[in-house]
Amino acid sequence: MKISENAFVEFHYALVNQDNEVVDGSRGAEPLPYIHGKGNIIPGLEAALEGHEEGDKFNVTIKPEKGYGKRDETLVSIVHADSFAGFDNIEPGMLCQIEDKNGEPLLITITAIDDDEVTIDANHPFAGQILNFEVEVMNVRNATEAELRDGVQ
């Protein structure tokens, strides 16, 4: 079966940087499941998977616009260190989940710590980057009604 709208798909991937180092991936764990056409993965990767079938292996390069978007410097801000009072230890490069001004969870990266100020970046860590994926399709089947209704658990 070829990957198309409403297909349940499982795939392994490796995200490789410009120095050919794997910076993210699923090898050594379970393959990543998703329902095709529901926007559960980045648009460029979903488009690249379209039409492939179980056993296919391929490489794809995805530009920021079809990945995690361009960097938005307005998402970089300086907050008082007291904002991290509940954390045992913070350091640059650390990913943290905080609440935004509306009480919604927000994933940020700590980029600098200076006395009582912490610089945070709410851009996705891969925003603005060209993404090079190595992909292997492990399973393709029709999604069940429950999966279409509730998503992949």
List the beta strands (DSSP E) in the chain: 7-16, 22-25, 32-35, 57-62, 76-80, 95-99, 105-114, 117-121, 131-142
pLDDT tens digit string along 78-122? 999 888 888 888 899 999 888 888 888 888 999 999 989 999 999
pLDDT at site 103:
86
pLDDT at site 9:
98
pLDDT at site 20:
85
Write the burial class of residue 90 (CB in 10 Å: 0-12 exposed, 13-18 middle, 19+ buried).
Answer: middle
Query: For residues 118 and 52, what is the distance between their CA atoms, to the nearest angstrom?
Result: 45
pLDDT at site 87:
82
pLDDT at site 83:
84
Closest by CA to 139, choosing from 19, 20, 31, 22, is 31
Token pair recorded at residue 49:
């998977």
Domains, the chain? 7-68+126-150 (3.10.50.40), 73-121 (2.40.10.330)
How confident is the chain (153 residues) per 10-residue block, as mean pLDDT?
97 90 92 96 97 98 95 94 85 88 89 93 93 97 94 83
Tokens 């913070």 belong to: 90
pLDDT at site 101:
82
pTM over 0.85: no
**50 touches 28 (CB < 8 A):** no
